[in-house]
A and B are shown apart, each in its own frame.
Chain A
Amino acid sequence: MTTLPFGPRNRETDPSLAKAAELPKEIAPPRDLWPAIAARLTSTPQRTGLRALGWPGALAAGFLVASVSALLTWGLMREPEPAVDASLAAGEATTVAAITPVQYGPNSALGATELATRNQLLAQFRQRLDELSPQTRQAVVNNLAIIQRAANEIDAALAQDPASGLLNELLLGAYKQELQLYSKVVTSGDGPTRRT
């Protein structure tokens, strides 16, 4: 019977140790972990959603609150909406109904609360969009798609570097642009389209 010399006392002949010796001395992590660790060390335990983004998040949240407040006030102050032109409704309802808000991926720090608040704007946005000319409406839809692509790109980048300040700022920039687009459509031409 042959006894294989395993164990640290038999380094030269132990086949497992010989294999292990072939492995690299260091294995670099797939990404730089320190920024995420540092961020966690300096953050408060309950930080979620936009709060995790610090002051840029606070700014965006402030903008959101101001936008929602202004738009809801605008909605209350505005004259009652007459029925949408039948020809428009028949021919273009599909476009308006098909519009969905920008979907932010799993790596974004935008929480359900912020996005739910944003979604409150959508009813007004959709109603207002219906009143725009087909060309302008198409421009709005196209630009929402552009923001969606940007959000996808940022999310993919965040998967590689979740703690990146750059990416989180760009994400907030995209989110802000989305809100501004809704706001612009909701309030644009308010006076002129107020009908007799």
Chain B
Amino acid sequence: MSTRMALLTAASLAVIAGPAIAAQDISKRASVAPDASVDVSNVQGRVDVTAWDRNEVELTALLESDEDKLEFEATERQVRIRVNRPEGKYHDSDDDAILTLKVPKGARLIVGTVSADITVNGVRGEQRLESVSGTVDTQAYDAPVTLESVSGEIVLKGNGGKARVSTENVSGSTIVSGIRGGYEGEAVSGNITAIVAAVDRLRAGSISGDIEINAELTSAARAELESISGTVELTLKPPVNAEFDIESFSGDIENCFGQQARDKSKYVPGSELGFTQGSGGARVIIQTLSGEISLCDH
């Protein structure tokens, strides 16, 4: 083999072997309590969490950069997992860190990421999931769930449990379904879409994002929906027994229950609509500045 050929071969091998050497495959495992707290933070890539029947936390990490460092600290009550990225490479790198976790079903889960997507399956303990620009996708059972993002999408699917769910988003959309306990959602320009069953507490607010809620209200429910310029659309599952207090400064109010909105005053803009449907009980308050309001039961 000529010297030139040998050099070419060596160079080719180096190119092929390069990424394999740079990437880090790491596995960790720890025995924990059934309701242990699992705290995860990552910058970029993914965090995938799945619940299992074992009282163990298992982590499989693929760090594409050899400069990233993984911290894994575990006690019976708490597991802390953190991907540390060198200075200056925390958001402008192409290297992902992919964390795949298995945790006890009853674990309490806290996840924070910058651009890494978060996906959670089957965790029944309390969840607090935050991402700056990554998607947050999880399920809710009976324990509280808090989801926050700046520009990432938030998706939550309930399993009919009584979880109290809270979401905060800036520009990303929020889609929540299948919960029964209560829901509070806020957004600036992001849209909020929620399908909730038999809730006793429902609150959603936005600046310009549209709010679309399909809900079944308990007799003691209190629902408050507010937007500056976004459309607010509330569809209630019949039979509807509620008192309504609806007001808009300049937005139209549509009501398929029949009552018409009236001008609030002879001298200032604004329309309002107040009425009791059925036997009352639940209370619904909707307010907008210029956003349209639509209220219906189908």
Beta-carbon contacts under 8 Å, B85-105 to A: 85-88, 90-92
Question: Would you give the shortest CB distance from B250 to chain A, in whole angstroms?
Answer: 8
**Contact assessment for A132 and B132 in the assembled complex, using a CB-CB cutoff below 8 Å:** yes
Contact: A170 with B83, CB < 8 Å?
Answer: no
Question: A135, A153, A173: which contacts B226 (Cβ < 8 A)?
Answer: A173
A54 interfacial by beta-carbon distance below 8 Å: no
Contacts of B29 in A (CB 8 A): none
- Do A30 and B189 have beta carbons less than 8 Å apart? no
Q: A30-B267, A139-B151 are in contact. Are A153 and B229 (CB under 8 A)?
A: yes
- Take A164-B270, A177-B188 as given contacts and tell me if A195 and B84 are in contact as well, using a CB distance cutoff of 8 Å: yes
Inter-chain CA distance A187–B17, complex, in Å, is 39
Taking CB atoms and an 8 Å cut-off, the chain B residues in 69-89 that contact chain A are 69, 82-88
How distant is B123 from chain A, measured CB to nearest CB, in Å? 19
Q: Is B253 an interface residue (CB 8 A)?
A: no
Residue of B nearest to A170 (CB): B289
- A157 B289 Cβ-Cβ under 8 A: yes
Binds A, one of B108-116, B210-218, B236-244, B275-283: B108-116
User: Do A167 and B112 touch across chains, with their CB atoms under 8 A apart?
Assistant: no
Chain B contacts of A50 at CB under 8 A? none
Contact B229 A150, beta carbon cutoff 8 Å: yes
Which size class do B's interface residues fall under?
A: 35 or more
B228 contacts A133, CB within 8 Å?
Answer: no
CB of B171 within 8 A of CB of A192, answer no
B15 to chain A, nearest CB (A): 27
Q: Given the complex of chains A and B, what is the CA–CA distance between A139 and B133 in angstroms?
A: 10
**A132 touching B91, Cβ below 8 Å:** yes
Which one, A31, A181, A192, contacts B43 given CB within 8 A? A192
A108-116, A118-126, A141-149: which lies at the B interface? A141-149
Cβ 8 A contact of B171, one of A142, A173, A196: A142
Q: Which of B41, B132, B269 meets A161, CB within 8 Å? A: B269
Q: Identify whether the interface residues of A are mostly helix, strand, loop, or mixed.
A: helix
Chain A, residues 154-196, CB within 8 Å of chain B (1/0): the string is: 1001001100101101100110010011001100111111111
Chain B residues, CB < 8 A from A184: 148, 150, 168, 170
CB within 8 A of A157: which of B90, B114, B269? B269
Q: A28-B267, A32-B266 are in contact. Are A195 and B229 (CB under 8 A)?
A: no
The answer, yes or no, to whether A136 is at the interface (CB within 8 Å) is yes
Whole-angstrom distance between the Cβ of A6 and the nearest chain B Cβ: 36
Residue of A nearest to B272 (CB): A166
What is the CA–CA distance of A180 and B171 in the complex, to the nearest angstrom? 13
Q: Does A82 contact B (CB under 8 A)?
A: yes
Complex Cα gap A87–B87 (Å): 13
Q: Kindly provide the distance from the CB of B277 to the nearest chain A CB, expressed in whole angstroms.
A: 22
Given A133-B91, A142-B171, A181-B188, verify A188-B130 contact (CB < 8 Å). Answer: yes
Q: Is A85 positioned at the interface, with any CB of B under 8 Å from its CB?
A: yes
A166–B268 alpha-carbon span in the complex (Å): 13
B159 in contact (CB, < 8 A): no
Contact status B249-A164, CB under 8 Å: yes
CA distance A185 to B250 in the complex (A): 32
Chain B neighbourhood of A157, CB < 8 A = 249-250, 269, 289
With A85-B92, A157-B289, A196-B86 given, can you name 5 additional A-B contacts, CB distance below 8 Å?
A29-B267, A132-B132, A133-B115, A157-B250, A166-B289
3 tightest A-B CB contacts, nearest first: A191-B41, A150-B228, A189-B114
18 contacts between A and B (CB under 8 A): A28-B267, A140-B150, A143-B207, A147-B207, A150-B289, A153-B289, A154-B289, A161-B249, A170-B228, A173-B228, A184-B168, A184-B170, A188-B112, A189-B131, A192-B43, A192-B112, A193-B90, A193-B114
